[in-house]
Each structure stands twice: as C-alpha cells, then as structure tokens.
C-alpha cells in the first residue's frame, strides 16, 4: 500500500523558515516525480513545486521561486520542502503527491500558519 505522510508544519512568524518532510512507503520512490501542492484555508489547490526522480529537474511556482527549495533523499524515500522568508499568504495546508500521469497518491497534508 502506498503511503505518503507529511510533517514539519506549524506556526511561524513572518520572515521565518520551516522544513516540511514527506515520508513515503510502498513505492519505488526514486522512480517518480514528486510534487508539493498547497491549499489556503477555504481556497483552492495551488501547485507549488515538482522534482523529478533523480533530482535533476526542478520547477517552482512564481509565487515561491527564490524562497522555497524542493529536494529529495531517495535513500530515505523522503521528499522535502525548505521554506524561507515566509509570508502570511503562505499560510496553507501543504500536500505532497506522487506523479504518474496525474497525481495518483496524496498525503493527508501538514498545516503551515504564518502569523505574528
């Protein structure tokens, strides 16, 4: 059974940093492109970033470019999102998802709240 479990969310002040993790099991992690998707409270889904299987192809949404860094550790089957210079508008549930012609598997999300 494929499982994705996000962690690392919490309350952080504007300008602060957080590192999200997405631990996976039940899949050959290194074979898949992985994504982060976020959802502000009461709002829609927004794509944040992707990273391909070996980490050589990475892309970001314009809204997070230069502030967020996606990475992966294939030996640990884990995806990461380093978030710096956080703003109030980054407040959201952050989901990781596995890409196989569509985002077939999603975690349950981890909540990030940016507030003073």
Partner 1 sequence: QSALTQPRSVSGSPGQSVSISCTGTSSDVGGYNYVSWYQQHTGKAPKLMIYDVSERPSGVPDRFSGSKSGNTASLTISGLQAEDEADYYCCSYAGSHMVFGEGTKLTVL
Interface contacts to partner 1, rule CB under 8 A: 35, 37, 44-47, 50, 59-63, 95, 101-104, 106-109
Q: How far apart are CA 72 and CA 101, in angstroms?
A: 20
User: Could you tell me the smallest distance in angstroms from the CB atom of residue 16 to partner 1?
Assistant: 25
Q: Would you say 74 or 106 has its CB closer to partner 1?
A: 106
Within 13 A of 72's CA, how many CA atoms are on the CB side?
28
The smaller minimum CB distance to partner 1, of residues 4 and 83, is found at 4
**Do 45 and 37 form a contact (C-beta atoms < 8 A)?**
yes
Q: How far is the CB of 25 from partner 1 (least distance, A)?
A: 16
Nearer to partner 1, 1 or 75 (CB): 1
Q: Which is nearer to partner 1, 40 or 88 (CB)?
A: 40
Q: Closest distance between partner 1 and the C-beta of residue 34, in Å?
A: 12
Q: What is the CA 41 to chain-centroid distance, rounded?
A: 16
Picking from 18, 47, 31, the residue whose alpha carbon sits closest to that of residue 106 is 47
**CB 53 within 8 Å of CB 32:** yes
């Amino acid at each position: 059974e494929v499982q994705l479990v996000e962690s690392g969310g919490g309350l952080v002040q504007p300008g602060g940093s957080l590192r999200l993790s997405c631990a996976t099991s039940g899949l050959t992690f290194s074979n898949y492109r992985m994504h982060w998707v976020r959802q502000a409270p009461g709002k829609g889904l927004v794509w944040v970033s992707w990273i391909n299987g070996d980490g050589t192809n990475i892309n970001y949404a314009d809204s997070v470019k230069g502030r967020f860094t996606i990475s992966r550790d294939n030996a640990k089957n884990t995806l990461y999102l380093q978030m710096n210079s956080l703003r109030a508008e980054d407040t959201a549930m952050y989901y990781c998802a596995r890409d196989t012609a569509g985002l077939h598997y999603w975690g349950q999300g981890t909540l990030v709240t940016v507030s003073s």
